[in-house]
Amino acid sequence: EDLDIRQVAGMWHSMAMAASDISLLDSETAPLRVYVQELRPTPQDNLEIILRKRENHACIEGNIMAQRTEDPAVFTVDYQGEKKISVLDTDYTHYMFFCMEAPAPGTENGMMCQYLARTLKADNEVMEKFDRALQTLPVHIRIILDLTQGKEQCRV
């Protein structure tokens, strides 16, 4: 399915995070525990990702430039080494699921995925859909952080 990058533009909230290795997300300062805030398509069809992360007991804002590839739903980023980001599913108006390659130290392959929502309202149907999408992936992955209760400090 073709991804229309213009339609993913705007504010998003990280609602759930999943990973193939718990160490990628298990602490506030874990390497891939990032909270997406906004997606900004560029004129070249790349995607600027505005995010927040805990560092030194504070939330810091950062951004990552995701470069487009031949596949409209796949981007490459240089975040702790070059990695691929794939958009698994989106309806553009309510949710988006994406995964990033994330080999944990000492492993060949690994993955971190997130469920993003346009609002902070929890949606159990979408959460179940996210869980089903994770089951189709080639690596065993499970939801580690359910952020739908809004208790996370770095989330906007």
For 4-58, how does the pLDDT look when each residue is reduced to its tens digit (9 = 90+)?
Answer: 999 999 999 999 999 998 888 888 888 789 999 999 999 999 999 999 998 888 8
pLDDT tens string 65-121: 999 999 999 999 987 778 999 999 999 999 999 999 876 666 667 899 999 999 988
Number of structural domains in the chain: 1
**What's the whole-model pTM score?**
0.91
Residues 6+ apart with CB under 8 A from 146: 15, 16, 127
Answer whether residue 156 shows pLDDT above 60. no
Q: CATH number, domain at 42?
A: 2.40.128.20
Question: Which structural domain range is residue 26 located in?
Answer: 10-144
Do the domain assignments include residue 132? yes
Do the domain assignments include residue 136? yes
